Amino acid sequence: MCATIAEVVRELKPTHDVVVNYTGGAANVKLFLGTTAVALSSFLRVKIIYALRYEDRIEVYKNQTEELKSIFKRLYEFL
């Protein structure tokens, strides 16, 4: 997993818009994707989303970029 994300990150250019959907996968995958996205947001245009689609057509979409950046900033200040 880390190697795959590292491959994608190596290909990013300053002009790219990045969308990270950290919804699926195990907890450690979600944490790594969210952390990577927050770090990338300091020098790239990044949108971190939570998105689900159910068979009965219920869709949930939330842009959580600012919330996650705020959480990481508070954690950094705390530590």
1 pLDDT band (50/70/90 cuts)?
Answer: low
Residues whose CB is less than 8 angstroms from the CB of residue 22 and which lie 6 or more positions away in sequence, other chains included: 29, 30, 33, 34, 37, 48, 49, 50
Q: What is the pLDDT of residues 34-55, one digit of tens each?
A: 899 999 999 999 999 988 888 8
Containing 50, the helix (H) or strand (E) segment is strand 45-53
Q: What is the mean pLDDT of residues 9-19?
A: 93
What Å distances lie between residue 40 and 22, 57, 58, 75, CA to CA?
A: 14, 32, 31, 17
- Write the pLDDT tens digit of every residue in 15-35: 999 999 988 788 888 888 889
